[in-house]
Amino acid sequence: MEFTRIFDLKEKTITKNKANLDGCINLKKLLLLFILSMITFSVFAQPTFTIEGALQSKNNGEVVPFATLALHRLPDSSLVSGTISNAQGNFQISANEKGKYFLEISHIGFNAKTVNVNLNEKTKICTDEILLNEKTVKMESLTIVGERLKAKSDGNTTTYFMNKKLKDASFSGGDVLKHIPGIQTDFMQNISLEGSSKLILRVNGIERDIDYLRRLEASKIDKIEVISAPGSKYDAAVTGVINIVLEEKETGLSGHAYIEVPTSAETMYLFPSYSLNYGREKFNFYTSYNGEISYFDIENTEKRKIQSEVENTTIAVLENVRQKNWSHKFHFGSDFIPDKSNQFNFYGFLNPYSWEQDGQIHLDRQHENESNKSWSVTKNDDDKNFQSFASLYYKHIFVNKQEITTDISYYNLQANNSINFLSDSSSSTSPGNLKYTSQPNETRGILKLDYTHPFAENWQLNSGIKTSCSVLKDNANHNFRFKENIWAAYGELLFSKSVFEVQLGLRAEKSVSSLKDGFQNDEFDVLPHFLFNWKINSANQLKVIYRKSLNRPGLYELNPTESRSDPLKLNVGNPALTPEVSHYWATDFSSAFRGNFVSARVFLQQFNNSIQPFSYINDEAIFISQYQNMGDIFQYGLQVKGSLKLHKRITVNPYLQVFNIRSKTNGLAPEVDSENIALQSGLSTLISFTNGWSASFQLQYDMGLQYFQNKTYNDALYFVSVEKNINDKIKIGITSAVPFKNSVTYQATDISGSNFESNWQGNIRTNGFPLWLKLSYRFDSGKKVNKIQRVKEEIKVVPKKGF
């Protein structure tokens, strides 16, 4: 049973009336006890007629426990007897005379209801189930002391509620997500949901990216909603949705500043941010900034073994580089709400960034029948990127609760990337200096229109259309000019009654893609979605899910411009790629008990036309990797996640997914078919101490992820943090990542083909105990108002270099 409460906390009123309130409560308790005692005595004196029944919520069919029932005699409405429904919602009440009565039912979470009762010759009357309507209660001065539920499941959404332990252990929205089961956040704060990074991140319904989450204060977050099987209203490529719901917005001036300070110049790991917001009753203006400055010493090693009829060749590569990543993203926007029916929003960001790796590379090439060859170079990476985004949004709410929204968005990416290999002539027997340049550019325009129509008490229709136009090109390669137009329409029907909920959706997408002086591909896809949810009781739910989705290739998968990490290794995109199709089936059981939450899921997923890198050795012994539509992938397994309270000060959030992967090629290279068992896991622990102190621990570990040729793995990644709330405005903390290890494998890949094997490892070197200090300061003033909820167009993530 759900209660909707609106609390307008007035601390001054509570303090002033606390003593009087306590006294009134005690007096009311004694008076209520006396009345019930007198009623009970009179009832048991001579009971002749009995009325029995059960109370249920009309909204969700759950039982209504501890409701107050009073039996009145007609026509004078005199009170005859009273009782309270038990924990199962059942009640029994008695009268000692025949006649006409009415039963008055009241509960703090429901509207009062009256039921007429006619007592005749029957001494026992059983009523039908009495349905009560939920209501909203507004209380002016009330403080609730207690701990919120950890989580609940409702339809295709799992909601995790913020509590004091989670707020104390987190500085930003990014920190909060580290403690949500099923959400993985790596060392560079990239987010994935149940192993997939193709997700939408939203804040109050507004679509954002991880950079925006880092500028959010954890203390302002109310709850986190997770959808692991999105409906038809979401884009075909989206596999999950994370929505962060904030507490009510405030007028006046508010903001925050957050900085991180490294304790060693060897490992720079900084994510500073600030936000500034000014709001009036109808207007709201905001700006924010978040940065990324990460400098690491990285050692990449690779060993390739090549077999041929003539000889075997071994190539060993050692790369010692300094990773230098920086990003500065500036957000800005405004809201205008002239009345309750209309909302306007403008949002945009500007983001210059650079990902570089500079250092030394040494390559040894050993032949069976020839002398060894070596190549030593200095690698200079020059990487300049700039992306921008702007959108206009409008929402209108009709009197009958129908809604219509429209969104116009524009996105642009401009990049200039070059790699220079400066040869050391004193020791090199290979060609001299080499340079590779790429200037990718992407422009995208989007128009969306969505309509919501609740046309009956238990029915709702969602529908909408979307069109987008993209131009992808590389100014350093005039042969690559790729255009793609997409038209989409969807309809989604929702039905909810009693203990059942059903969602039926259908999305149709047509795309036309073309390459200059090349091909043109026309695609049409129909994407159904189905969800059935059965609320077994107030604590347990069972749901069945099916969804078909698409994954379209992005700029860096399509761009055929060559890039190299050494003279014998070549990476290239493929403009002829077609979308990957996914079918997902799952049965999920969730249970909430004693403040804990556990969910178990059995799933099956099939990928057709899967987009994966394909590697081979050409006639010149060059290692070439290119994206291809490799074939089909079948996955099935078990997933378990939860939020458990081990102690009143200790909360544990585990996540485990064990599944079988079978990859079967479409004939491109049958020898790379594979099958294996994989594991993805995560664990976070929160410990709350007294006086504002808290500690947290996060662990992530994956193994056995093999698709066709490529098997990836990494060392376990774990963080240890301690935080302290100085006061309501200032918080400090200290964090260490993977302590007691001087070298950490952040990613490794084993690749096998018909005539070669390759093992690549990327290792970050640390001082054995990397530490960084954290400090945040926040301020706010004014009263609470509501902020516009909207979604933003998804931006395809550009792959980063190195760690």
For the chain, what percentages of helix, strand and coil (3-state, to nearest 5) are there?
5, 65, 30
Q: Is residue 796 part of a domain?
A: no
The counts of H helices and E strands in the chain are 5, 50
130: number of CA atoms within 13 Å, CB side?
Answer: 28
Q: What is the distance of C-alpha 613 from the center of its chain?
A: 26
Segment 259-272 shows an average pLDDT of: 86
Q: For residue range 688-719, list pLDDT tens digits in order.
A: 888 889 999 989 899 889 999 999 998 998 88
Q: Do 672 and 607 fall within a single domain?
A: yes
Q: Residue 449: which residues within 8 A CB-CB, separation 6 or more?
A: 404, 405, 406, 407, 464, 465, 466
* Tokens 């913020």 belong to residue: 162
Domain C-terminal end among 226, 246, 266: 246
Q: Which of 79-88, 285-294, 502-511, 578-587 has the lowest mean pLDDT?
A: 79-88
Q: Do 451 and 507 fall within a single domain?
A: yes
Which pTM was predicted? 0.73
User: What is the phi/psi pair of residue 338, to 5°?
Assistant: -65, -30
Q: Are 773 and 736 in contact (CB under 8 A)?
A: no
**Across the chain, what does the average pLDDT equal?**
83
Q: Residue 33: which residues within 8 A CB-CB, separation 6 or more?
A: none
Q: Do 193 and 106 fall within a single domain?
A: no
Q: For residue range 341-382, list pLDDT tens digits in order.
A: 999 999 999 999 999 999 999 988 887 777 788 888 899 999
**How confident is the model at residue 42, as a pLDDT?**
41
Q: Do 63 and 202 fall within a single domain?
A: no
Q: Do 53 and 183 fall within a single domain?
A: no
**How confident is the model at residue 327, as a pLDDT?**
94
Q: Do 108 and 254 fall within a single domain?
A: no
Q: Is residue 798 part of a domain?
A: no
Distance CA 488, CA 476 (A): 33
Domain that holds residue 691: 249-785
Ramachandran category for residue 440: left, alpha or beta (phi over 0 → left; psi -120 to 50 → alpha): beta
Q: Is the dihedral of CA 340, 342, 346, 347 positive or negative?
A: positive
Question: Is the pLDDT confidence value at 38 over 50?
Answer: no
DSSP secondary structure of 1-29: ---EEEE---HHHHHHHHHHHHHHHHHHH
**How confident is the model at residue 506, as a pLDDT?**
96
Q: Do 308 and 405 fall within a single domain?
A: yes
Q: What is the distance of C-alpha 617 from the center of its chain?
A: 39
Q: Is residue 802 part of a domain?
A: no
Q: Is residue 154 part of a domain?
A: no
Residue 482, both tokens: 């790729």
Distance CA 618, CA 611 (A): 21
Q: Is residue 151 part of a domain?
A: no
Beta strands 440-453 and 78-84, pairing class: unpaired
**How confident is the model at residue 9, as a pLDDT?**
35
Q: Is residue 737 part of a domain?
A: yes
Other CB atoms within 10 A of residue 593 CB: 9
Q: Is residue 748 part of a domain?
A: yes
Q: What is the distance of C-alpha 560 from the center of its chain?
A: 32
DSSP secondary structure of 49-95: EEEEEEEEETTT--B--S-EEEEEETTTTEEEEEEE--TTSEEEEEE
Torsion angle (degrees, nearest 10) of CA 793, 451, 333, 470: 30
Q: Do 178 and 319 fall within a single domain?
A: no
Q: Do 221 and 257 fall within a single domain?
A: no
Q: Are 255 and 276 in contact (CB under 8 A)?
A: yes
- CATH of residue 86's domain is 2.60.40.10
Confidence of residue 210 (pLDDT cuts 50, 70, 90): low
Question: Is the pLDDT confidence value at 490 over 60?
Answer: yes
Q: Are 461 and 415 in contact (CB under 8 A)?
A: no
Question: Is the pLDDT confidence value at 120 over 60?
Answer: yes
- CATH of residue 300's domain is 2.40.170.20
- Nearest partner of 274 among 293, 257, 253, 291, judged by Cα: 257
Distance CA 700, CA 67 (A): 46
* Residues β-bridged to residue 284: 279, 335
Segment 507-518 shows an average pLDDT of: 90
- More confident site: 445 or 90: 445
**How confident is the model at residue 3, as a pLDDT?**
35
Q: Do 318 and 451 fall within a single domain?
A: yes
Q: Do 422 and 510 fall within a single domain?
A: yes
Segment 395-414 shows an average pLDDT of: 92
Q: How many domains in the chain?
A: 3
Q: Is residue 799 part of a domain?
A: no
* Tokens 């990836």 belong to residue: 712
Distance CA 172, CA 218 (A): 5
Q: Which of 48-52, 186-190, 584-588 has the lowest mean pLDDT?
A: 186-190
Q: Do 240 and 263 fall within a single domain?
A: no
Distances (CA, A) of 497 to 233, 418, 503: 22, 60, 12
- CATH of residue 199's domain is 2.170.130.10
Q: Are 385 and 414 in contact (CB under 8 A)?
A: yes
DSSP secondary structure of 400-465: TS-EEEEEEEEEEEEEEEEEEEEE-TTT--S---EEEEE-EEEEEEEEEEEEEE--SSSEEEEEEE
Distance CA 274, CA 291 (A): 9
- Nearest partner of 406 among 788, 791, 786, judged by Cα: 791
